[in-house]
Amino acid sequence: MSSQKRRIRRSFGAVRKLPSGRFQASYLDPDGARRNAPTTFTTKGDADTWLAIQRSALETGQWRGTTDDTTVGEFAQAWLNTLTVRPRTRYNYEKSLDRWILPTFGTSPMREVTPAAVRRWVGNFSADKPAARAQAYTVMHRIFRDAADEGIIGENPVRVRGASEYRVAREGNALTMDTILSLAERMPESERLAVVLAAVCALRPGEVLALRRRDVDTTARLLHVRETASAKIGTGEQVGPTKTAGSVRDVHYPAALDAAVRDQIAGYAAPGPRGHLFPRKAVSPSEPVAYRTFAGHFREAVRRAGIQDARPHDLRHSGATLAAATGATVSELMARLGHTSPTVALKYQHAVRERDRSIADALGAALTGARADQTGDHHVED
C-alpha cells in the first residue's frame, strides 16, 4: 500500500490521505460497519474534527445512523430548543419554520430531503418576498448542517447558491437638520427629544427609547448606550441587550441640547437611576415608550409635516451622514455608530462625497450660466 493511501489509526476512527492530497475520514458504527464521511477534507485537522463530532454523537446517544427516520419537524423542534439566541431571533426562526419550512418539509424524514426538493422550495417563493426567502433558507441551511454534523444525514442538501441573499428595497433617507427639528416639533412633547437625539447621536430607535437616567451624563454631555427596546415577543422583556456587543458605546451630544436634556430628565423621565428617559407613563412608568407607539407618532409627524418619505430608522441614517459631513474619519464613525466593520462607515463617507459632487455640479451650472450672461452683456451687435 502506498504511503499516500496509508490509514492513520487512532483511538476512534481513521484518516487516510488520498492520491488527490485530500483526507478521507471513517469510523466503525455500533454494528461494526465502516462509515465514511460524506465528503473528503482539505486538511487532516478538518477530518479529525468530523470524527470528534461523530464520536461525541455516539457517546451522548445522539447518533442515529443512515436508517434514522427523524422528520424535519422533529429535528427542527429539538434544534430550536437547544439554541442560545435572543428572543427576537428565536421568534424569527419560529416564524420561518411555521410559515415556510414545516408546511413543505415538516413530515419528511431528514434523509429523504434532496437538493432538487430544496431548489423547488426556494423557487416557489414569491418574487416580492426576498427577505422571507433569505431568512427561511438560512434557518433551513442551519438545521440540515447541524443534522449532518450529528450524523443523522450524510450531507447537507440545502445548497442553493445565492438563496440567502437579497437586496434591501429601500436605503436610508438622509434628512436635513431643519426637517429633523420640524418632525420633532410635531411629536408628543415627551418624545421630541428622542427624535433629536436619535438623529444627532446616530442612535437606533430602540437604543434611544431604552435610555435610562443612569445612562445620561449631563456634565460630560454623554450617553451610555447599553440596551435596546423593541416590541414585546411572548413573555419576553421589552428592553434587552444591544443589537451586537459592538453596539455598546458612549456617544456625546452637543451643548446645544443641554437644556432639552435637563428638561426631559426633570419633566418626563421616570424616577430612580433605572428610570427610563422616555417612559410609558400612561401604562407603566417602569417601561419605555413602546416602539410601535413611537413609530406611530413619528408617522403622524411625517404626515403633518408634509414629508414624502421618512421612517424612524432614517434618523440614525441622517445622524451618520451629518457626522460624516463634519469630516469624521472611518474609525470615528465606527465608534459613534457602534460598528466593528468599516463597511457602513465608508458608505456614509461615500454618500457625503456624492453630495459634494452634486454641489460642485450645481455650482458649475451656475458658473456656466453666469459666464453666458457676461458674454451676453458684452455682446456688441454689428
**Claim to verify: residue 198 and residue 143 sit in the same structural domain:** no
Assess whether 339 carries a catalytic annotation: yes
- pLDDT score of 350: 60
Question: Is pLDDT at 363 greater than 70 in this prediction?
Answer: no
Q: Which of 348, 350, 357, 379 is catalytic?
A: 348
Q: Which of 192, 204, 317, 336 is catalytic?
A: 204
Instruction: Report how far Cα 7 is from the mean position of its chain's Cα atoms.
Output: 45
| Inter-CA distances, 332 with 65, 316, 321, 345, Å | 53, 15, 13, 9
User: Band of the pLDDT at 170, cuts 50, 70, 90?
Assistant: low
Q: Are 25 and 14 in contact (CB under 8 A)?
A: yes
Assess whether 297 carries a catalytic annotation: no
Share of the chain above pLDDT 70, in %: 80
Domain that holds residue 115: 72-149
Q: Considering its fold, how many domains does the chain have in total?
A: 3
Whether residue 206 is contained in a domain is answered as yes
Q: pLDDT (tens digit, 9 = 90+) per residue, 255-276?
A: 999 999 999 999 999 999 999 9
Which triple of cell numbers denotes residue 120? 423547488
330-337 helix and 313-325 helix, angle to the nearest 10 degrees: 150
Whether residue 304 is contained in a domain is answered as yes
**First-residue to last-residue Cα distance in the chain:** 104
Q: pLDDT (tens digit, 9 = 90+) per residue, 125-164?
A: 998 889 899 999 999 999 999 888 777 787 899 999 998 8
**Claim to verify: residue 184 and residue 330 sit in the same structural domain:** yes
Assess whether 280 carries a catalytic annotation: no
Q: What's the predicted TM-score (pTM) here?
A: 0.61
Torsion of CA 183, 185, 190, 195, to 10 degrees: 30
Q: How many helices and strands, by DSSP H and E, does the chain display? A: 14, 11
String of DSSP letters for 242-264: -SSGGG-EEEE--GGGHHHHHHH
**Claim to verify: residue 120 and residue 249 sit in the same structural domain:** no
Share of the chain above pLDDT 90, in %: 40
CATH number of 239's domain:
1.10.443.10
Assess whether 350 carries a catalytic annotation: no
**Claim to verify: residue 294 and residue 328 sit in the same structural domain:** yes
- pLDDT score of 233: 54
- pLDDT score of 381: 44
**Claim to verify: residue 188 and residue 330 sit in the same structural domain:** yes
Assess whether 379 carries a catalytic annotation: no
Q: pLDDT (tens digit, 9 = 90+) per residue, 342-352?
A: 776 666 656 55
| Inter-CA distances, 244 with 75, 136, 228, 241, 370, Å | 28, 22, 10, 8, 53
